[in-house]
Amino acid sequence: MSEQMFPVLLALAILLGGVAGAAVLTWWERRLLGFWQDRYGPNRLGPFGIGQVIADMIKLLTKDDWVPPFADRVVFIFAPTAIVVAMMMGFAVVPFAPDLMIIDVNIGLLFFLGMTSLAVYSVLLGGLASNNKYALLGGLRSAAQMVSYEVFMGLSLMGVVMISGSFSLVDIVAAQTNVWFCFSQVLGLLVFVIAGIAESHRLPFDLPEAEHELTAGFHTEYGGMKFAMFMLGEYLGLMLISCMIVTLFFGGWLGPAFIGHWLPPLAWFALKVLLVINFFVLLRAAIPRPRYDQLMSLGWKVMLPITLVNLVITGAVLLWMEGGF
């Protein structure tokens, strides 16, 4: 296989795998939540209810692809596409194994942050184009929530950059050969996980689409495949954030030093990502949804100070280790 064709084939594999993975996650999330809450979950269609995924796909594909007459048609159609494209682009810099990535750039971390920032336009435009007061409020909530937590997400990663000395995700993984950053950057990991939940609209931070207040929030007027694309974007965001948590804080494709290399690098990466996804799913069943003002206060009054303290401590330790004190 030529070197020029490999990134193209890998991109196609990630595209198909992302769509299939999002579909399977809808089933896995229900089963895991059912187990956690002492109930069955999907258990009628096929073994363990796996046929529920096919039933959901048929339902979404056969629904009317309706655009409200009062909506801005062009923007209304474009909005759900934007979030899927942004999330898929984020996977371009994820190193799944030492030689298994679409592209390795020296600003890979900045590219990831840029793609997550673009996702806010999808939700905001969807809310505005719907010309619905509930969708508008959901879109405005989303803009405030995502833009705010992007600040903390970026600052939480500066300690990782300071220790590794690079924005390249491959270099960041290589810097964790001896010790994963989840030990030296506990505060950064805490902030990044919370910001990742807010960025991907996962419970308990799904306030832009809070059903108890705004019917369905920014996608109130969406149905059929457009609604499915919003859901696909959410699950892709969950997988992307999980991949980045593993890459930045849990050694990426590296196995624990005390265990050795008895699994291939890709298997270590996939196992860690699966564990992080399960954590996000179970978090949904364990923590209640806060009020919107509590969410914003948590960000600016708690997350921001924690990131600044983490930066100061990391910088001081690095100076001390280099003999600067």
What residues does 263 pair with on adjacent strands? none
Per residue in 256-301, pLDDT (tens digit) is 877 766 788 888 999 999 999 999 988 888 887 788 788 888 888 8
Backbone angles phi, psi at 165, to 5 degrees: 75, 25
Q: How far is residue 93's CA from residue 113's CA, in Å, rounded to a whole number?
A: 11
pLDDT at residue 285, rounded to an integer = 81
pLDDT bucket at 70, cuts 50 / 70 / 90 = confident
Q: Quick check: is 219 in a domain? A: yes
Coil/strand/helix, residue 18: helix
pTM of the model: 0.90
Q: Quick check: is 6 in a domain? A: no
Residues in contact with 25: Cβ distance below 8 Å, sequence separation at least 6, in sequence order? 235, 238, 239, 277
Token pair in block for residue 150: 């992007």
At residue 163, does pLDDT exceed 80?
yes
Q: How far is residue 164's CA from residue 246's CA, in Å, rounded to a whole number?
A: 15
Find the domain containing 112 and state its range.
64-316
* Count of the separate structural domains present in the chain: 1
pLDDT at residue 3, rounded to an integer = 63
Q: Quick check: is 21 in a domain? A: no
pLDDT at residue 247, rounded to an integer = 93
Q: Quick check: is 45 in a domain? A: no
Per residue in 206-225, pLDDT (tens digit) is 765 555 555 667 777 787 78
Backbone angles phi, psi at 14, to 5 degrees: -65, -40
Q: Quick check: is 22 in a domain? A: no
Q: Quick check: is 13 in a domain? A: no
At residue 122, does pLDDT exceed 90?
no
pLDDT at residue 240, rounded to an integer = 92
The mean pLDDT of the chain is: 84
Q: Quick check: is 56 in a domain? A: no
DSSP state, 233? Answer: H
What residues does 100 pair with on adjacent strands? 97
Q: Quick check: is 50 in a domain? A: no
pLDDT at residue 325, rounded to an integer = 53
pLDDT bucket at 130, cuts 50 / 70 / 90 = confident
At residue 186, does pLDDT exceed 60?
yes
